[in-house]
Amino acid sequence: MSYPGLALEQAPPVSAPFRFFLTAPLFGLAAVVLLLWLGPGLLQSRWTPGLLALTHLLTLGVLAMAMFGALLQMLPVVAGAPVARPLAIATVVHVLLVAGTAALALGFVMPSSFLLRAAALLLAAAVMVLVAAAAHSLARAPRRHAAVHGMILAILALTVAVGLGLWLLVGHGWSGVALQRGVATDLHAGWALLGWIGILVCGVAFQVVPMFQMTPEYPEWLTRHLNRLIFAALMLWTLALAWPAAAQLGVLAAVVLVLGYAAFAVVTLDLQRRRKRRLPDVTLSFWRLGMGCLLATLLFWVVTRATPGWLADPRTGLLLGAGLIVGFALSVINGMLYKIVPFLVWFHLQNRLLHSGLLGTGVKVPHMKRVLPDAVSRRQFRAHAGAVILLPLALLWPDPLLYPFALVLGVSFLLLARNLWAASLLYRRESLRLAAPAEND
Amino acid sequence: MSARERRLDVSGLEPCEPLERTLAAAGELVPGEFLRVLHRREPFPLYPMLEQLGCAWRCQPGSTTSFEVLIWRGDDPVAAAAAADA
């Protein structure tokens, strides 16, 4: 018996997603270096070149880097459709994303319109290749469940967010083209954070939270409707911002977005509370922190709407962005890496064991818990949680709290890099052992 | 020869234990034996690994868990017939 559209050969080689995962914390460290170098002056407004560079080192260099890797890995497994030539696609997208993100950050900081123009072309190419590969895979997906719908909508949102980002970049990098700030920046950030990142996190959570955290399944009313509602609300919001006569639609869109994401966070926390196995699990801690930050950011946004003084304060936008990027998205994605990476190491080693005919001979592959032990991951969680707690304080009182925040965040990214590289080296070592068991045993 | 059923409940285990234990049990099947694995999710990544092991399988809704996967050796007609009726 065989299952159509799913075979081990279809899973991309482990190096395809790993290159993205191993690079992500390095961009996090680059963001920390920038923060330490530019200091509190970085936070004078949301438009300082240093802050634009820092934001994109985190959103493109860390978050999108990890999400692109996970997407290439999960498309065949979750959607049941392979990505054509996965290693070539991964190599091209990775090189373009690394070069594009570095050019963008340097282009803002130096400043250099040449680098910004290069970044526009490199990032557009990276996203086009990824979107084309994903669309090719998803079009042939035999399974169309909530995670697949989530991936499709998230990729559409990514396309909109990057399109808006490129439009903004044209204003920065090409003379004679007016820079469209304000509305275009809000739309770019909204589609990136609440569309691309938020929808992908929800869609993937519907599959992986019950599977990896041993919780009950998400209720059907949420899995069927949430991602479509969020996407529709983003379209309404875009219409309201672009066409003043439809401004009232913006209120409706905001209500749907706040209630939708709040429902997702509350249901996730409730499912985790009712999980079947009550063993310590660092991913659970990351997710709880992420959901808590999501709820706190939504609540803060509602309060700012009702408090005119806060709405006008430039720090409000910084706090909202920081809550979503570092508090919510970075926590959740960092936490997922502690499941995805050990699972991939185990899965590919198990494959090697089967292919070499060693199953049942006493040769074993390391268990997931041995690939990344909980104690090691927990140290990084403590550093990350410390950074998340310090972040709002650093934004409100940058002098002197920005430096301790940057140092704690730096420790967190260093530990994450060390843990992921250790898992990668363990994979390499075990692969060699399985390739030559007689010499080693 | 009469067929024997072996039962394995992995519904309360975290990944990758269900796959690991199922593969180990499938590798130990002797002629005339089939395996009934009780699972809370359909284990798609397991199937190609079973193929690699030379096993056949059938997944059906379970009575006590969401799914049951019946597994037998591909060259074992006795176990295959018993699993078809299980």
Asked whether residue A430 carries a pLDDT value surpassing 50, the answer given is yes
Of the listed ranges A14-23, A302-311, A382-391, A401-410, the one predicted with least confidence: A302-311
CA distance A218 to chain B (A): 13
List the single residue in B with minimal CA-CA distance to A368.
B16
Report the predicted TM-score, pTM, of the whole model to 2 decimal places: 0.91
| CB pair distance less than 8 Å for A350 and B16 | yes
pLDDT at A9 (0 to 100)? 52
| CB pair distance less than 8 Å for B47 and A2 | yes
Inter-helix orientation angle B46-53/A331-355, to 10°: 10
Confidence of residue B1 (pLDDT cuts 50, 70, 90): low
Q: A148 or A102, which is more confident?
A: A102
Between the alpha carbon of residue B25 and those of residues A114, A212, A218, the distances in Å are 61, 22, 31
CA distance B52 to chain A (A): 7
| CB pair distance less than 8 Å for A277 and B28 | no
CATH code for residues B4-85: 3.30.110.40
Give A188-246 pLDDT, tens digit per residue: 999 999 999 999 999 989 988 998 888 999 999 999 999 999 999 999 999 998 888 88
pLDDT at A440 (0 to 100)? 46
pLDDT at A419 (0 to 100)? 98
Give A379-402 pLDDT, tens digit per residue: 999 999 999 999 999 999 999 999
Measured between beta carbons, which residues in chain B are less than 8 angstroms from residue A212? 14-15
Q: Which residue is listed with tokens 């899965």?
A: A347
Give A333-353 pLDDT, tens digit per residue: 999 999 999 999 998 898 888
| CB pair distance less than 8 Å for B53 and A354 | yes
Confidence of residue A357 (pLDDT cuts 50, 70, 90): confident
Mean pLDDT (chain A) is 90
Which two tokens mark A388? 């998340």
| CB pair distance less than 8 Å for A6 and B20 | no
| Rounded-to-integer distance, Cα B43 and Cα B59, Å | 9
Q: What is the mean pLDDT of residues A125-154?
A: 88
| Rounded-to-integer distance, Cα A52 and Cα A34, Å | 11
Q: What is the mean pLDDT of residues A269-275?
A: 95
ipTM over 0.85? The verdict is no
Share of chain A above pLDDT 90, in %: 69
Query: In terms of Cα–Cα distance, which of A58, A4, A15 is closest to A341?
Result: A15
Asked whether residue A274 carries a pLDDT value surpassing 90, the answer given is yes
